[in-house]
Amino acid sequence: MKDSIKVGLGFGVTSGIITTLGLMVGLHSGTHSVLAIIGGVLTIAIADAFSDSLGVHISREFENKTQKKDIWEATATTFFSKFFMALLFIIPILFFELSLAVKISIFMGLSLLAIFSYIIAKEKKAKPLPIIIKHVSIATVVIIISQLVGTLIRSHFV
């Protein structure tokens, strides 16, 4: 797999999972609103996917070592992986009660992150477990902080 595709996938998949889960958990604990969560996830899928892909694009341009085609491959891969990863989290919301859907999304997201981390470790010929633990732990911290912020906002403004 080309480096430009790896850059886009690595950034898009990871950001898509962690950002979307943080948003979902924070909005759920703060609002308990299906509408707010779906709107937030769609916003992440569109605005944040464009933002992240532009960030990758500019970062790759700034390196001044990458060919134009590779820059655009990384840009497009980042956008589409982030976009579709974020949209994936709407599926549980459409089929389950909101609290259960958020729990399913957390399980699904952390599982996907663990699988992706395993693939990264194998690609690097490294031990998978430390990499999986590191990545899932960071995502878990984001989820916990988002939960606390949502709860704090709800308790002070509702």
Quick: pLDDT tens for 34-93: 999 999 999 999 999 999 999 999 998 988 777 889 899 999 999 999 999 999 999 999
Tokens of 138: 């960071």
DSSP secondary structure string, 119-134? HHHHHHT--HHHHHHH
Distances (CA, A) of 1 to 61, 69, 81: 20, 15, 15
Separation between Cα atoms, residue 156 and residue 100, nearest integer Å:
25
Reading the block at residue 46, the tokens are: 């569109």
Angstrom distances, CA of residue 118 to CA of 38, 66, 109, 115, 122: 30, 27, 14, 5, 6
What pLDDT does 108 receive?
A: 98
Tokens read off for 117: 């981390």
Radius of gyration of the chain measured on its C-alpha atoms? 17
Please tell me what DSSP assigns to residue 89.
T
Neighbours of 59 (CB within 10 A): 15
Mean pLDDT, the chain, rounded, equals 95
Residue ranges of the alpha helices (H) in the chain? Answer: 3-31, 34-43, 49-63, 68-88, 90-95, 98-124, 128-157
Kindly report the pTM of this predicted structure. Answer: 0.92
Query: Please, which pLDDT band fits residue 136 given cuts at 50, 70 and 90?
Result: very high
Q: How far is CA 17 from the centre of its chain?
A: 2
